[in-house]
Structure 1
Amino acid sequence: MNKENRILEGKTIVIDAGHGGKDVGATGQTGIHEKDLTVQTALNIKQELAEKTGANIVLTREQDEFLTLAERVEIAENHAADLFISIHFDAFTSNDVAGITTYYNKPADRQLATMIHDKIFEQNIDTRDRGVSQGDYFVLRENKNPSLLLELGYISNQADEQRIQTQDFQNKAAAAITEGIISYLI
């Protein structure tokens, strides 16, 4: 690995694949479960980060297992994470709602959320920009480390559901999130 690819050496990034095990999360129109998409996306982000940064990357889960919200926060604390990112896909009762939303909890994390959100939309991802919002999510509120939660599309929307399952989307999302992390941590 050359020096350019070790720009975050010594930093620890925790990628949290939302849901898992008995907690399937949302279910798409085709029957795909959010828990399966989040782990796939987390693995793609881990690979991109490993290739480009030299950071220590910790996944809260790499397979279909259940973790409590407190266990997810504890993983970040135990690894002295410099950054915690929770991956999700949203759902709504109406299937016409679409787009990507980035959530932060602490005012200090707004800049991080904005940086990563903006990088995602620089990737020409064909969906609605639902913006950056403050959210009262346990994994953000209870995390002592900089943290955010990404809702990378609505699994309940047919177009979003199809898009988020493509390799093109997965590659763009992983690249954008990695770029945002680099921008924030260097």
Structure 2
Amino acid sequence: MAVPGQPLEGKTIVIDPGHGGKHPGSIGQLGTMERDMTLQMAKEIEQELLERTGATVLLTRKQDETVDLQQRVDMAAEASADLFLSIHFDAFTTRDVEGMTTYHKDSHDQPIAQAVHNRLMEKNFDTRDRGVRVGDYYVLRENTVPALLLELGYISNEKDETRMRSLQFHKEASQAIVEGVIDYFHKR
């Protein structure tokens, strides 16, 4: 049972910094590597969760290392996680596409996806709201626990890339994500 100030006591959340090691992910115009940004953001979310919620928090990787997709999914299953959050920064072939998208695997995960996405959009990051969508990504499709994949901007867009390099953005986005998770679990 949650105690005051510990709204997620007893919950386990797995945070998955996308890519890593031999899989750098996308690389921005300014040279930003997705694998580095996802790890930085995941650590910020971890810290926010630990400080505010009482949840047990696990990271699929804590440094720049290669972790295969099945290992990431297995970690969530073995921990009987209440939520799996995969952190990414999107890319496109043209530089004009921008925005944030929250993906989930099916209708069961839509409410938590919407709660997290709503909080992100409330922050007014001056980016396009690309919505909440069903995604056919391995870490969503193969997960046995509720799972979200967050695309927190387009690394291929200079405005989004500049924002994602900001420590202030990492702090504010982390707060928004944690607030969305708390919102969801409090409604259940």
**SS of the counterpart of 1:98?**
coil
1:89 paired with 2:89, answer: yes
The structural deviation recorded for 1:4 is 3.1
**SS of the counterpart of 2:92?**
coil
Aligned to 1:153: 153
1:137 paired with 2:148, answer: no
Q: After TM superposition, where is structure 1 displaced by more than 3 Å over at least 4 residues in a row?
A: none
After superposition, the C-alpha distances for 1:21-48 in whole angstroms (9 at most, x for unaligned) are 0000000001111000000000000000
Q: Normalized against structure 2, the TM-score is what?
A: 0.96
Aligned to 1:108: 108
After superposition, the C-alpha distances for 1:56-111 in whole angstroms (9 at most, x for unaligned) are 00011110011111000001011110000000000000000000000011110011
* 1:23-34 alignment runs, 5 A limit: 23-34=23-34
**Amino acid across the alignment from 1:159:** K
**Amino acid across the alignment from 2:101:** T
Q: Structure 1 unaligned runs (5+)? A: none
The structural deviation recorded for 1:5 is 2.8
Aligned to 2:126: 126
For these two proteins, the number of residue pairs brought into alignment is 185
* 1:1-186 alignment runs, 5 A limit: 3-186=3-186
**SS of the counterpart of 2:148?**
strand
**SS of the counterpart of 1:148?**
strand
Question: Quick one: distance in 1 between partners of 2:88 and 2:179?
Answer: 19
Question: Quick one: distance in 2 between partners of 1:99 and 1:121?
Answer: 10
Q: Structure 2 unaligned runs (5+)? A: none
Identity of aligned residues (%): 55
Question: Quick one: distance in 1 between partners of 2:93 and 2:7?
Answer: 43
Q: Normalized against structure 1, the TM-score is what?
A: 0.97
The structural deviation recorded for 1:184 is 1.3
**SS of the counterpart of 1:120?**
helix
